[in-house]
Structures are given as C-alpha cells and as structure tokens.
Amino acid sequence: MIDGDGKITVLPGVADLAQVRAWLDARPKPSR
C-alpha cells in the first residue's frame, strides 16, 4: 500500500483485506 507521500506499507502473504479497508478509510478521498 503506497501513500500519497510515497510511504509504503507491506502486507506479507495472503493480505488481510480488513487492513486494506482500514488503510483506505484513513486516506483522503480522491477528488472527482
């Protein structure tokens, strides 16, 4: 998972998609 500022978070093995959802929730939403 790569933040807008380039920071990388690695989820090894089979990803816990709940973590991906939580990561998305914590990110600013893209402008449309």
Partner 1 sequence: MAIGPDGRVFAAWLDKRNVAPAGAANRPYPGAALAYAWSNDGTSFGKTSIALDNTCECCRLGIAFAGPGRPVIAFRNIFEGSIRDHAVVTFKDATTPGPLRRVSVDDWKLEACPHHGPSLAIAPDGSYHVAWFTDGKARKGLFYARADSADSAFGPPRAVSSPGRQPARPYLLADGRALHLVWKEFDGIKAQGAVAGLARRRPWLERGANCRRDRRRLGSSAVGRPCRARLSLVADQGPGLSPDPAGGPAMRLSILPVLLLSLASICGAEAAGPLPFERGSWEKLRASHAGQPTVVHFWGLTCGPCLVELPHWGKLVADRRDLKLVLIAADPLPQEQERVSATLAAAGLANSESWSFTDRFYERLRYEIDPAWAGELRVP
**In angstroms, what is the minimal distance from the CB of 21 to partner 1?**
7
**In angstroms, what is the minimal distance from the CB of 22 to partner 1?**
11
Two tokens, residue 5: 């500022």
Q: Does 22 contact partner 1 by CB under 8 A?
A: no
Interface size with partner 1, residues (CB under 8 A)? 20
**In angstroms, what is the minimal distance from the CB of 1 to partner 1?**
5
CB atoms within 10 A of CB 23: 13
Q: What is the SS3 assignment for 2?
A: strand
For residue 6, report the phi and psi dihedrals to the nearest 5 degrees: 95, -5
